[in-house]
Amino acid sequence: MSDPSLRQGATEGELSNEVEGYLLWQARIAEAEQRAQEFVRPMDWLTTAQRTEIEQSYVEDALRRARKDLERIAARCTSLRAEYENRYRELRRRCVGWTLGVCAGLAAAVTLLLLL
């Protein structure tokens, strides 16, 4: 990639992916915090410190689970990509083989017809 415009396009794509990931993670944090608050709301007997501690623990647990889910999904996406790339290479190789075979057959048929 010696073309600077191509390099800049790749950087912009990477940047947009990072921004999207950041925004999605922030939404996940906000959702976890909201769920934590809803979880402790009916517990009237808790002190403010206890409530805060339970909320923080709930959020940490939710984010830890979300991170594991995202890592599992990312690993699966990577493996699927590799599978599809291998399958595409195999199909392309097969298609080129058939095309060359048909062309060779046609060339042989034309040569035989010209010799007759």
Distances in Å between the Cα of 10 and the Cα atoms of 18, 23, 94 are 12, 20, 32
State residue 97 phi and psi, 5-degree precision.
-60, -45
Identify the band that residue 116 occupies on the pLDDT scale cut at 50, 70 and 90. Answer: confident
Other CB atoms within 10 Å distance of the CB of residue 32: 20
Single-letter code of the amino acid located at 86: N
The reply to whether 64 falls in a domain is yes
The reply to whether 21 falls in a domain is yes
Predicted TM-score (pTM) of the model is 0.65
pLDDT tens column, 41-88: 999 999 999 999 999 999 999 999 999 999 999 999 999 999 999 999
Instruction: Please state the domain count of the chain.
Output: 1
Other CB atoms within 10 Å distance of the CB of residue 63: 16
Residue 17 in this model has a pLDDT that exceeds 80 = yes
pLDDT at 10: 59
Q: Which domain holds residue 35?
A: 4-83
The reply to whether 112 falls in a domain is no
Distance of CA 115 to the CA centre of its chain: 58
pLDDT at 7: 53
Residue 9 in this model has a pLDDT that exceeds 90 = no
Single-letter code of the amino acid located at 51: R
The reply to whether 8 falls in a domain is yes
> CA 4 to CA 11: how far, in whole Å?
10
The reply to whether 16 falls in a domain is yes
Residue 1 in this model has a pLDDT that exceeds 50 = no
Task: Note whether 32 and 58 are within 8 A (CB).
Answer: yes
**Nearby residues of 1 by Cβ (< 8 Å), 6 or more positions away:** 7, 10
**Percent of the chain residues topping a pLDDT of 70:** 91
The reply to whether 105 falls in a domain is no
